[in-house]
Structure 1
Amino acid sequence: MERLDTSAETFRRAAEACGPPHSQLFWQLAGATADLRTRIEADPTQITPLRKLIFFFIPKMSELCTRWTGLAAMNPLTAPDPRALDDFQSYLSLIRAAEQSCLSQQYDGLHASMAAMEQQMARHGS
């Protein structure tokens, strides 16, 4: 659970370091991560099918958001790439899908989404 707490805090710091619309999305990522933590805390058996998401994907996503805010701050006169917002939105969709998987205890769709996310991160060299 510490990984989820740390990742939620990293998303919060990223939100504080930039302006809208990215900051709004980073706040949502922090909230979704906290919500997922609550679901898993209520039923610890959920951690097993979500292990890769919890220990790899969410920490990596929060790290990438922080890196993005640092790079954006280095060049404040350039408009942010809208594709980055789409990528961050896909992070939120994946975390919300994990929360729904906890409720339904159906993980096949989530695992397919994680495979797609893995390919996306590989394209970006993450």
Structure 2
Amino acid sequence: MKLLISILVTALLSFVAGIFLPWWTIALAALLVAVCIHQSPFRSWLTGFLSIFLLWGGLAMWIDIRNLHILGSKLAEVLPLGGSSILLVLVTALTGAIVGGMGALTGSYIRKRPATEE
């Protein structure tokens, strides 16, 4: 249940932050959720990875469908993707997912950090 809630909260927070702030705030959103909702480091990474993969993949696919694959095909020709707009969507989603996963993993390790004794 925590996994599903974390995925939804991370995706929602990343979407809202992405409207007003730079793209890299997805890492901060994933970090914040991982600090607030305690999970193992792997599950936190998986949460960040899946939520941003689904969010960015869905948004990229929606944009690609809305403009009839014209922009995606042209960008895929410039990049070494063979003109495949679907492959461009997957690369976009994977790039965001790695950033989100690393942000969530960092948040998990911040929460696990033992308190220093003085």
Band the TM-score falls in, shorter-chain normalisation: 0.3 to 0.5
Normalised by the length of structure 2, the TM-score is 0.34
Normalised by the length of structure 1, the TM-score is 0.32
Higher RCO structure, 1 or 2 (CA under 8 Å, sep 6+): 2
